């Protein structure tokens, strides 16, 4: 006679599932905080392999790394066991951390929208950043992730949690970016005309009659066209190189080498 295994009661199954999801969130917060910390260490030690992880890819902005650490801390404080004496303090700290992440994303989006970088992403390692900024899609991700963390404990009378729906958007953005890097499709990890650029980067300007085409490359072999313009010029012209911070309130510095005219 075969033994009969009784199914777990509904409440016990839900408790086990909740414990599993809580453990997954806890370990995810540790992983994210570790990645952010490695990036900060990479900037401190000037190790490109830690700043970008992938060769020839754009270095992660150190303020982005700090945002990851703060977001992970917020999630960890939501999941960590709370003693009665520290319950409210942990909850407050988690919300403050979430608000910081949301503010970082909002400031980034405002900077791109107005064309005037607010400078939040230039605070850490300013002298070594050059034109490195938090990407606009990263700003959107931080804003929505921060809002989701702020609403993490809010449950509607129907049982729905808005934070879960909000978190789907930054998750989709992150996955799309990963696929973009994996398959080498710039449009998947850039946004509109804002495309991340690796440092150092090869640039070239090609002239055909009065048409000038600008391109950039991470390896000097595979080129990506950036823009084309038409100018009325004489047969001979003086050539120079310049760099811009794309902001009237800021200056920028760049070093050019291996310059050649063909």
Q: Over 90: is that where the pLDDT of 99 sits?
A: yes
Nearest to 101 by CA among 152, 50, 58, 27: 152
Residue 192 pLDDT: 52
Q: How confident is the model at residue 158 (pLDDT cuts 50, 70, 90)?
A: confident
Q: How confident is the model at residue 85 (pLDDT cuts 50, 70, 90)?
A: low
Top pLDDT among 91 and 185 is at 91
Tell me the pLDDT tens digit for each residue of 168-193: 888 888 888 777 766 666 666 665 55
| Residue 144: how many other CB atoms lie within 10 Å | 20
Q: To the nearest whole number, what is the mean pLDDT of the chain?
A: 78
Helix (H, G, I), strand (E, B) or coil at 141: helix
Tell me the pLDDT tens digit for each residue of 204-224: 888 887 788 888 776 667 777
Q: Stretch 254-260: mean pLDDT, rounded?
A: 68
Task: Provide the b/e sequence for 1-25 (b: ≥16 CB within 10 Å).
Answer: eeeeeeeeeeeeeeeeeeeeeeeee
Q: How confident is the model at residue 198 (pLDDT cuts 50, 70, 90)?
A: very low
Q: Over 60: is that where the pLDDT of 6 sits?
A: no
For 133, the token pair is 């900024």
Q: Over 50: is that where the pLDDT of 114 sits?
A: yes
Q: Lowest-pLDDT range, 86-90, 96-100, 179-183, 196-200?
A: 196-200
Nearest to 98 by CA among 165, 139, 146, 167: 146
Q: How confident is the model at residue 195 (pLDDT cuts 50, 70, 90)?
A: very low
Q: For residues 148 and 170, what is the distance between their CA atoms, to the nearest angstrom?
A: 10
Q: Lowest-pLDDT range, 20-29, 139-148, 189-198, 215-224?
A: 189-198
């Amino acid at each position: 006679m075969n033994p009969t295994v009784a199914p777990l009661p509904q409440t016990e199954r839900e408790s086990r599932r909740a414990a599993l999801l809580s453990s997954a969130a806890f370990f995810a917060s540790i992983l994210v905080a570790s990645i952010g910390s490695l990036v900060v260490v990479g900037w401190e030690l000037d190790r490109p392999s830690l700043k970008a992880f992938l060769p020839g890819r754009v270095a992660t902005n150190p303020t982005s790394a700090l945002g990851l650490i703060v977001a992970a801390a917020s999630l960890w404080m939501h999941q960590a066991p709370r003693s009665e004496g520290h319950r409210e303090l942990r909850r407050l700290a988690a919300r403050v951390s979430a608000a910081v992440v949301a503010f970082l994303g909002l400031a980034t989006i405002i900077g791109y929208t107005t064309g005037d970088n607010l400078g939040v992403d230039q605070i850490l390692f300013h002298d070594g950043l050059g034109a490195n900024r938090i990407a606009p899609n990263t700003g959107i991700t931080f804003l929505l992730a921060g809002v989701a963390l702020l609403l993490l404990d809010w449950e509607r009378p129907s049982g729905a949690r808005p934070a879960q729906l909000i978190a789907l958007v930054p998750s989709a953005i992150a996955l799309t970016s990963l696929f973009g890097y994996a398959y080498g499709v710039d449009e998947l990890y850039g946004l509109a005309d804002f495309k991340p650029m690796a440092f150092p980067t090869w640039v070239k300007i090609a002239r055909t009659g009065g048409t000038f085409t600008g391109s950039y490359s991470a390896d000097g072999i595979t080129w990506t066209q950036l823009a084309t313009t038409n100018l009325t010029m004489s047969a001979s012209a003086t050539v120079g190189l310049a760099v811009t911070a794309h902001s009237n309130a800021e200056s920028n510095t760049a070093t050019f080498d291996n310059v050649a005219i063909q």
